[in-house]
Amino acid sequence: MAYKRDLGADELSECVQDFYQNLSDRLHTHFKGSSERVESVMDEVERYMMTRLYEEVFCPETTDDEKKDLAIQKRIRALHWVTIEMLCVPVDEEIPEVSDNVVKAITDVIEMDSKRVPRDKLTCITRCSKHIFNAINTTKKEAASADDFLPTLIYIVLKANPPRLQSNIQYITRFCNPSRLMSGEDGYYFTNLCCAVAFIEKLDGQSLNLSVEEFELYMSGQVSPQRPQAATSPACSAAFSQMNESLDLLTGLGVRQERVMEGARRLESDLIDWRDGVEHKVQDVLERFPLEMHPAASPTASSAIDADNVENDHLPSPLQPQLFAG
Amino acid sequence: MAAGGGAGNKTYSFKVVLLGEGCVGKTSLVLRYCENKFNDKHITTLQASFLTKKLNITGKRVNLAIWDTAGQERFHALGPIYYRDSNGAILVYDITDEDSFQKVKNWVKELRKMLGNEICLCIVGNKVDLEKERHVSVEEAEGYAESVGAKHYHTSAKLNKGIEELFLDLCKRMMETAQAEERAKGNGASQSTTSRRGVQIVDDDPQAATAAGGCCSSA
C-alpha cells in the first residue's frame, strides 16, 4: 500500500473496510462458508493486514490524532483530584480483592496501546471491563448494570491515563472489522470506552455534583479533596499519611509566616508613626519655645568663671604618652 | 446491521438499546428475559449491561444483543454514542414515578431526531405489580406512545409479566424493518442505511409489496 501513503485517514479506512466487505462477501458467496468459518478467516485477515499496516496507519500524520492524544492526557492529569465518591463509583477499594481487580483493569487498558491488531486492542478493553465487573460484583453482590459500569470505567481511565488513547480509539474505529464493533460484546465495551472519553472531555462541576467555584478550586490545584486512605499497599498508605501530615505542617507554616509578616508590617508602621510623632513633638516644642537670642548683658560675665583662675598659667603642661621600649 | 449469514438461511443480528432512569428496573427486566432471574441472591451473573439472546422466529434465526445504557442524568449527553446503529430501543419507565416517564419522552424525541424512523421504539411501563401506587395513567402513556409511533407495553420483572411478549414483538418488528430495507436495496433505491458498508444481501424469496405492513415506520 506504499502508493497510498498520501491518502487521508478516512480514505485509508475506506480502502481497508471495502476490502473486508468484498472479501467477506466473496467468502460467503463463492466458497459458501458458514458464518463462523468466514468470521474466523476474516479475523486472520485482519490480523495479517493490520500487523503489516500498523506503522503507516496508526496515528497518521495527516490527522490531528496526536494533538488529541496530548489534549486528553493533559485533561486527565488535570483531573487527578476526582474521587470515587464524586463519580459515585460502586467500588470499595478497601477490599483487597476489589483493589486487585482495579489494578488489573488499569493494567489492561494501558496494555491496549502495545497491541497492533485492532481486535487485540479490543480484547484488552474487554478484559479490563471484566475486571471492572468483578470489582463491582465483589463490592455490591449483584450483577453490574451500565449504571454501575460506566462510572467505574471512567474512574479507571482517569486513574490509568492510557497512552495514546485517542489514537487507539480512532485506529480501532477505522480499521476494525465492523461486524465486531457494531453489535458484539467487544463492541459494547469499546462503545463504553468512547463514552468515558467523551465524558472526561466535557466533564464539569455539575457532572460531579460540585459547584462551579469548587470545581475551579480543584482544577487550579488550590484545594484537594480529602482522600480516604485508599492505597494499594501499607507502605503506600504510610507514605500518603506522611505526605498529608507534611501538607498540614506546610499549611500551618504558611499561616504562621503570614502572621509574622503581619507583625512585621505593623512594627514598621508603628516605627513610622513613632518617628512622625517625635518629629511632631520636637517641632511643637520648638514652636512653643522659639530660640530667643538674649542680648548678652556683659560679654565678660560668661567667661567670668575662668577669669578668676589666675593660677592657670602655673599648671604643668599635660602629660604626653611615651613609649618605652621594653 | 441486519445482515449476516448466507443468502438463503440467514441470521438476523439486532442491536437493541435499553434506556431508562436509574431505578426503573432496566436491569431486572433484561435479567428476567435473558436468564429468568429476579433478585437472585446467588450471583452467577457477573453483569447485566450486555446480554445476548438467540431466538427462532418463524424459522428465521435472530441474534439479539441488548445494550444497557447508563441512565444517570449526567450521562445523558452520551446517548448518541450508545444508540448509534441500533435497530431497536426499549425505553423503560416506572409506573409509580412520573419523572421517569418524562425522561422517556426526552429520549424518544432525541432518538427520532438522530435515527429517524429506522429504529423500532418500545415504551415500557415497568413494575405493574405496584399498580396501587401508579402515577402514570395508562391512557396517557399509551396515547403518547401512539403519537410518536412507538408501541407501549406493561411489564413486571418481579412477576415475569409481559416481558416475553415485549421482546418477541420487538424482534418481529425489527425483522419487518430489516426486510423492507433489503427490498428497498434490492430495488436499487439507494437510501441511506444504518450499515455504512452497503451490505449486499440477495434475498431470494420475493416478498410482495407489503412495505407498510405494520412495520414501525407506520405510525
Q: Going along A115-225, which residue ranges are E strands?
A: none
| pLDDT value at residue B38 | 79
Give A183 or A323, the one with higher predicted confidence. A323
- Report pLDDT digits (tens) over A33-79: 788 888 889 999 999 999 999 998 998 888 899 999 999 999 999 99
SS3 B56: strand
Instruction: Tell me: pLDDT of A195 over 90.
Output: yes
- The residue of A17, A22, A145 whose CB has the most chain B CBs within 10 angstroms, and thus the best one to mutate to test that interface, is A145
Least confident of A108-122, B25-39, B101-115: B25-39
CA–CA separation, B88 and B178 (whole Å): 11
Tell me: ipTM over 0.85: no
Confidence of residue B120 (pLDDT cuts 50, 70, 90): very high
**Residue of chain B with shortest Cα separation from A185:** B50
B contacts of A191 (beta carbons < 8 Å): 67, 81-82, 84
Positive or negative: CA dihedral A159, A125, B76, A202: positive
**Residue of chain A with shortest Cα separation from B63:** A183
| pLDDT value at residue B22 | 82
Confidence of residue B201 (pLDDT cuts 50, 70, 90): very low
Confidence of residue A312 (pLDDT cuts 50, 70, 90): low
CA–CA separation, A149 and A245 (whole Å): 35
Instruction: Tell me: pLDDT of B16 over 90.
Output: yes
- Report pLDDT digits (tens) over B77-111: 898 899 888 999 999 999 999 999 999 999 999 99
A28 CA to chain B: closest CA distance, Å? 6
B94 CA to chain A: closest CA distance, Å? 16
Number of alpha helices (DSSP H) and beta strands (DSSP E) in chain B: 5, 6
- The residue of B44, B197, B199 whose CB has the most chain A CBs within 10 angstroms, and thus the best one to mutate to test that interface, is B197
CA–CA separation, A127 and A129 (whole Å): 5
Query: CA torsion, points B41, B46, B48, B53, in degrees to nearest 10?
Result: -110
**Residue of chain A with shortest Cα separation from B26:** A145
Q: B108 is written with which cell numbers?
A: 424518544
Instruction: Tell me: pLDDT of A135 over 90.
Output: yes
Strand order through the sheet with B120-126: B50-57, B60-68, B11-20, B88-94, B120-126, B151-154
CA–CA separation, A256 and A241 (whole Å): 22
Q: What is the DSSP letter of B1?
A: -
Instruction: Tell me: pLDDT of A168 over 80.
Output: yes
Instruction: Tell me: pLDDT of A214 over 90.
Output: no
Number of alpha helices (DSSP H) and beta strands (DSSP E) in chain A: 14, 0
SS3 B92: strand
Are A207 and B74 within 8 A, CB to CB?
Answer: yes
| Share of residues in chain B with pLDDT > 90 (%) | 46
Are A194 and B85 within 8 A, CB to CB?
Answer: no
B16 CA to chain A: closest CA distance, Å? 9
Report chain A residues touching chain B, CB-CB < 8 A.
17-18, 20-21, 25, 28-29, 32, 34-35, 88, 130, 133-134, 136-137, 141-151, 178-179, 182-185, 188-189, 191, 194-195, 198-199, 202, 206-207
Q: What is the DSSP letter of B118?
A: S
* CA distances (Å), origin B182, targets A64, A183, B54: 38, 19, 22
Instruction: Tell me: pLDDT of A233 over 80.
Output: no
Are A137 and B81 within 8 A, CB to CB?
Answer: no
Mean pLDDT within B158-176: 93
One-letter amino acid at A8 equals G
Nearest CB to A25; choose among B67, B78, B200: B200
| Share of residues in chain A with pLDDT > 70 (%) | 89
Instruction: Tell me: pLDDT of A232 over 70.
Output: no
Q: A48 is written with which cell numbers?
A: 495479517
CB atoms within 10 A of CB B29: 28
Q: Are A20 and A46 in contact (CB under 8 A)?
A: yes
| Share of residues in chain B with pLDDT > 70 (%) | 79
**Residue of chain B with shortest Cα separation from A195:** B78
A contacts of B13 (beta carbons < 8 Å): 179, 183
Mean pLDDT within B125-151: 92
The residue behind cell 466473496 is A26
- The residue of B1, B39, B68, B195 whose CB has the most chain A CBs within 10 angstroms, and thus the best one to mutate to test that interface, is B68
pLDDT, averaged across chain A: 86
Mean pLDDT within A152-167: 95
Q: Beta strand B151-154 with B120-126: parallel, antiparallel or unpaired?
A: parallel
What is the pTM assigned to this prediction? 0.74
